[in-house]
A and B are shown apart, each in its own frame.
Chain A
Amino acid sequence: MAEGYRGPLEKVGPYQWLVPQDYKPGMRVPGLIYASEELIDQIRRDQAPEQVANVATLPGIQKASLAMPDIHWGYGFPIGGVAAMDPEEGGVISPGGVGYDINCGVRLVRTDLTVDDVKDRVRELVDLLFRRIPTGVGRTGKYSFPKKELRKLVVEGPRCLVEDYGLGIPRDIEFTEAQGRLEGAEPDFVSDRAFDRGEEQCGTLGSGNHFLEVQVCSEIHDEEAARVMGLFEGQVCIMIHSGSRGFGYQVCEDYLMKLRTVPEKYGIQLPDRQLACAPVNSPEGRQYIGAMRAAANFAWCNRQLLMQQTREVFQEFFGRPWEELGMHLVYDVAHNIAKLEQHRIDGELKTVWVHRKGATRAFPPGHPEIPEAYRAIGQPVLIPGSMGTASWVLVGQPGSMDQTFGTSCHGAGRRMSRRAAVREARGRRIDEELERIGVIARARSRRELPEEQPKAYKDVDLVVEVVHNAGLSKKVARMRPIGVIKG
């Protein structure tokens, strides 16, 4: 385990900790970490604050190199890192600021079912989900998209699945961030290898921290926002956490390789080679952006197909069409992405590339990019907990625009290495323990449950408390898991 961070962290607000700009040579802005006293102690235990400082050296960075309370060590950028770059000031785009799993994200599907409708049959339901929905390493799904079809899919996003294949309904698109389509995806900048890996992986869950969870809405914190989203206490919902699978990993890998020598070419000095980047306005930068957008659109297609398969399973299990079960998409958000957005910086409206790596967009009420139905309450922010612990639904607040380029946290954040988690779990049966607390868990790999056990993560409630109190997003509902399938 790497040693902890020994540099400065100055408390500058109730939930704000500053890494001063003079901490490290080359920092263009300070670092700013959102955390409580309790969480900052955990955050100091790895080199994540050092990574916040490293990101602050990147050309074109605005205001501050930011980090959310679930920050932990990542490659180049920390997980939970947020940085906005102005192309007019030589701003860069960095694959490390997006992550290997481009557009990893979360989707919440509601139902009209209540906990009483499923409580005696959760095991059977989870077993059926586990049989039908492909999970884990190397598993391919029932869908296969040869290159020609996949090229169209990654340009058009899930709208293409709905219109050309009937896999979903138009309403699904409306409630997906960016309508599931980043304009300007360039399949020509995506390698054949990415297409090979993506061909049979659209509609598969993957492994690691990805999951599909059956949840019960256990607490409502904001009646009006919950009503608008169609959430109520005791309701059964499904949360899906997955990303762009091998397609996205390959895009990231390809561009990290291509960018190895690029910073030098543009005279950019990097404190860590995982921060490899290219100016937004350079051929290399434009190529990565085109490929990254294609991978983001792939991820939205993946989550659309995971949702569609879930609907089919429920339909089979309950013997009623999914429409009758009220299985509608509440919202879908990305938490590993870079997007071109407008933000007011020092009084001036600027168009910047916002990198969110393990961070969720959290636009406040009234923002034009929010679906009309939610415009009065703010954009839903979906925060998955770790396996066996609660997840949260929040909505974006005005504070996010003032402070964090419209961003909130993304999850619990790891606090134990995988090996430490497995060691800690030795001699225990995690599946049986979970069952005792009311969660039926199924995983394909024997390593998966010990590695992802609840103790391996920070307490998601503490993380959510910070973003709520700091005015970045507001609590709407807490979701309790009753069943989960994993890789």
Chain B
Amino acid sequence: MCPWETFEHTADIGLRITGRSLDELFATAGQALFALLIENPEEIRPREMVEFQLHAEDHAYLLVDWLHELLYLFDGQHLVFCEFDVRVNERRPVLSAHCRGEPVNWDVHRPGTEVKAITYHNLKLERQGDLWVAEVIVDI
């Protein structure tokens, strides 16, 4: 099973992400976001690290906040990432993350789709058997 895929939505794109743990799911969500923003994410090198902690009202909101944070680091700090080491507390909606990447270089990184925002519409994060599954729609 593919850890993430896109699904259709009138004007925008939905991301369906799975993981054996919340740690894995959040890391995959980060990969998915940068695969939208950058056409060739395989060219992103792990040369710098950014670390931060987040907390939210619940884990679904935490996922939105996580993607918001990455989007801000891209759009406000001009960084792109390829490695995400995320520790999500499964009991409380808090996480700590180490993200590795580099400053964006448009001679190397080909522009993908501009993501305006991560939305709350039909936001889903649930356990299905052994897997965690999330759906989040991004405004593009």
Report the minimum CB–CB distance from A95 to chain B (whole Å). Answer: 11
| Interface residue? A2 (CB, 8 A) | yes
User: A residues within 8 A CB of B121?
Assistant: 75-76, 272, 274
| Interface residue? A343 (CB, 8 A) | no
Q: Find out whether the CB atom of B76 lies under 8 angstroms from the CB atom of A196.
A: yes
Tally chain B residues at the interface, Cβ within 8 Å: 35
Query: Out of A73, A100, A196, A274, which one reaches B116, CB within 8 Å?
Result: A100
Tally chain A residues at the interface, Cβ within 8 Å: 44
Which among B6-14, B20-28, B87-95, B127-135 touches the partner chain? B6-14
Complex alpha-carbon distance, A140 and B8, angstroms? 29
Q: Find out whether the CB atom of A249 lies under 8 angstroms from the CB atom of B117.
A: yes
Query: Out of A137, A208, A260, which one reaches B37, CB within 8 Å?
Result: A137
Report the minimum CB–CB distance from B97 to chain A (whole Å). Answer: 17
Q: Find out whether the CB atom of A138 lies under 8 angstroms from the CB atom of B37.
A: yes
User: A residues within 8 A CB of B65?
Assistant: 257
Report the minimum CB–CB distance from A2 to chain B (whole Å). Answer: 7
| Interface residue? A250 (CB, 8 A) | yes
User: B residues within 8 A CB of A246?
Assistant: 75-76
**Nearest-CB residue, chain B, relative to A46:** B10
User: B residues within 8 A CB of A418?
Assistant: 8, 11-13, 140
Q: Restricting to B68-126, which residues have a CB under 8 Å from any CB of A?
A: 68, 72, 74-78, 104, 106, 110-121
Provide a sorted-by-A list of 28 A–B residue pairs whose CB atoms are within 8 angstroms: A2-B10, A46-B10, A72-B11, A73-B10, A74-B11, A75-B139, A79-B11, A100-B116, A136-B114, A137-B113, A137-B115, A138-B75, A138-B114, A139-B106, A139-B111, A196-B72, A197-B75, A207-B113, A207-B140, A250-B72, A252-B117, A272-B121, A274-B120, A414-B11, A417-B11, A419-B6, A445-B110, A445-B111
On B, residues with C-beta under 8 Å from A are 6, 8-13, 37, 39, 57, 61, 65, 68, 72, 74-78, 104, 106, 110-121, 139-140
Taking A417-B10, A445-B39 as given, write out 13 further A-B residue pairs in contact, using a Cβ cutoff of 8 Å, ordered by the A residue number.
A2-B10, A100-B139, A137-B113, A138-B75, A193-B76, A249-B75, A249-B117, A257-B68, A260-B57, A272-B121, A417-B11, A445-B110, A447-B39
